[in-house]
Every structure is written in structure tokens, then in C-alpha cells.
Structure 1
Amino acid sequence: MGGDSPPRRIRADAERSTARILEAAEAVLAVDSAASLERIADAAGLARVTVHRRFASRTALLDALAEQLSQRYLLGLAKARVETAPPLIALHRLTEIVFDLKLSHRFAVQLSAAITPAVLDGLDLLFARLRDAGAITAADPVWGRQVFLALLHEVHDLPVGSPTLASPGAGDEVEAKVSLLVRTVVGALGGSDPHS
């Protein structure tokens, strides 16, 4: 039994180091996408050799960031209950979650590898449910997903104070963006304003 303690401690230390590296990488790469592994190691407060031990290359680190974000997208789909919640509520909640992820993972959201087939399947399911519920008329869930993802970036990048964000009942900027995106996507896909 006592022999199990050191490996667990090493494993826990390795997991903490990996988490620190990924957190530092996200912060550093959001400011400078060409930052070196050495700079990421400095930001994590770790030796460069530790970063190289966890990630053999910059590509391996980027893959780990994409995988981490993919898992958070999948968790977001589950939290939004895209399989069971009323579809418009699920769309609204998912949009809130994704905007939060875009703020906390400014670099990783640019990595297309984070949008895995499982994430796409979850989005397609949501848009199929929106169609089946009569919230939209667009027949192809893939088209719905593509419209959502394209508009997501555009709405997210709207400047603070944009007149486009003026929305009755929207409390803050993020809520105004969520409301705008949901209304625009539903309208673009043949539905009516979900707030009317």
C-alpha cells in the first residue's frame, strides 16, 4: 500500500504542471500567438525542460489546448441539455456558455481542431431539434450549425456600444450579444423572433 503513494504524488504533480502549462499557454498565446515554449514555461513558473517533458513539441501543446477546449465544448453541450431541454432554451444557454469559453480561451477558440466530430454532432442535434420543434424552417441541421458558428464569431467581435447590440431587456453586453445571436440565427434559419 505504501508503495502506491510516490507514483500518485508524481502523477498529481505532473497533472498540476500540465494544467499550469496549459493555463499559461492560453494566456501567453492569446497575446502573442508565436510565443516560444520557453516563454510559456516562464509564464507557468516552470523550467523549460518540464514543458518539454509534458509536450514534446509546440504542435503537441496546441493539440492539448484544442483537446481541452473540445472537452469544454462537450461539457457545454451537456450543460445546455441540447438533447432534452426545449431547443430554444438550449440554444440560448449554449450560446452563453460558448461566449464564456471564447472569453476564457481566446487563443484556443481559434484552433479548428477543438471543433471535433462529437461537438459538431451535438450542434447538429440541436439544430435538428429546433427544426422539429418548428422554431426554424431550415431543413438541414448542418446548415444551421454553419450559420450559428459563422455568426458566433461576428457577434462576439462586435465592439462595445455597437448600436447593433441595442436590445430591449438585455442587461449587459454579453447578454445583449447572446440575445442578438439567438435572434439572428433563428431568423436566418426561417424562424420568428424567439423573444416575441
Structure 2
Amino acid sequence: MGEKKTARPLRADAERSVRAILEAAERLLSQDPGASMEQIAAEAEVSRTTIHRRFAHRQALIDALALSAARQLAQAVDDGRPTTAPPLVALHRITANVLQVKGAWTFALSLPATPGSEAAALHEEMARHCLTVLDRARAEHLIDEAADLPWLQRVYYALLGETLHGNPTDPTTDPDTLAARVVDTLLHGAGPRN
């Protein structure tokens, strides 16, 4: 019987190289989705040998980029404490955290997750957390009890997307200020305030 091999952790210098490659890939691919491995290596200031040693081919690099971004996004959601923080606090913190991560990893997070992959599982878990926070907000009467939560989730995602890609002349870039706008719009719409 053969033992299942587990991946050994990377040495610190190898981990830095991988991080530099992924960050360079995000920068270049967001500007030019056809950027080559060699261009990415140059942007990351690593040798062609290093990038090919870490990533057997371009798709492996793109898959690693998508997974890294999904992990960072999942951590941002977890840091908002979706199941334990008061719902309004969780919604605001998660929104601010997500805006920060999505703003830094727009290319990687625009990639569709391969079904059955770790990235796909992370995205599914984040969607469940979103519904949990919305359900908790409904239980606290922050959301109407008859609200369709899957629809509200789609509206929330649309607000996040518009916040990230909307008006480029908007001077507000602070994640907390933007999160307050998103949460206020989600919970109150554009109707008059009492």
C-alpha cells in the first residue's frame, strides 16, 4: 500500500518567489490577458527557470492565481465573523474586507473557478456565509421577514461589483466608507429616510 504524499511547505525564499510571481501575474494579466510566462517572470523579477519550475505551464499559473485570490477572499469573509459578529457589524466588515481584496485581485477573481476545485469550494462557502449573514440580519429585523434572500444576495453582489467598477471619478476609495454605502443601499435602498 502506498502512502498518500502531501505537498511539502515551500521554503521562505520559494514562497516569496511564488508570491512575487502571482502579484506580477495579477498586474500584467489585468492589463493584458495574453501576457506570456516570460513577461510575468520579468515583471516579478525572477528568472524564466524559476517561473517554469514553480508553474509547469501558463494554465497552472492561472489556476494558482485564482486559488490564491479565492483564499484571500475567503479569509476576508472569515475575518468579518459571519456567524458570530452582530449581523450589521459582520455585513459591514465583510463588505469592507471584500472590497479591499477584490480591488487588489480583479483579474484573478474574474476567472471562473474550475468545478470541483478548491477555489470553487471556497466560493461556494463564501456564498453560504453571505446567506447566513443575510438570514441573521433578517432575524434581527434589519431585513424584511418576507425578503427573498437569494435575490438579496445577488443585489449585494451587484452593489459590490458596481462599487469596484462603477464611476472612476468617484474620489471615495476608503473600503470602510464604500462598505457603509453598500450596506446602507442594500438595507435601505434609495427611499426617503425617516
TM-score, normalised relative to structure 1 = 0.78
| 2:38 maps to 1:53 | no
> What is the distance in 2 between the residues matched to 1:32 and 1:111?
14
Give the residue type in structure 2 aligned to 1:81: R
Report what 1:177 is aligned to.
178
- How many correspondences in the alignment? 177
1:130 to 111, 132, 137: 137
Query: Aligned residue for 1:74?
Result: 74
Who is 2:12 aligned against? 12
* In 2, Cα distance between equivalents of 1:127 and 1:10: 39
Instruction: Return 5+ residue gaps in structure 2 as ranges.
Output: 1-7, 114-118
CA RMSD of aligned residues (A): 2.7
Identity of aligned residues (%): 39
Q: Provide the secondary structure at the position in 1 that maps to 2:81.
A: coil
Give the drift of 1:87. Answer: 0.7
Task: Kindly indicate whether the alpha-carbon contact (under 8 Å) linking 2:74 and 2:123 is maintained by their aligned counterparts in 1.
Answer: no
Q: Deviations over 1:100-146 (max 9, x none)?
A: 11222232221232562112121121111111211112544332222
Q: What is the TM-score of this pair, normalised by structure 2?
A: 0.78
Structure 2 counterpart SS, 1:134: coil
Task: Please list every run of 5 or more consecutive structure 1 residues that lacks an aligned counterpart in the other structure.
Answer: 1-7, 166-171
Amino acid across the alignment from 1:127: L
Q: Provide closer, same or farther for how the CA distance between residues 89 and 9 of structure 1 changes in structure 2, counting only shifts above 3 A.
A: closer
Contact 1:88–1:130 (CA<8 Å) still a contact in 2? yes
**Pairing 1:159–2:167 present:** yes
Conservation of the 8 A alpha-carbon contact between 2:73 and 2:102: no
The equivalent of 1:120 in structure 2 is 127
Instruction: Check 1:126–1:39 CA distance in 2 against 1; reply closer, same or farther (3 A cut).
Output: same
Query: 1:141 maps to what in 2?
Result: 149
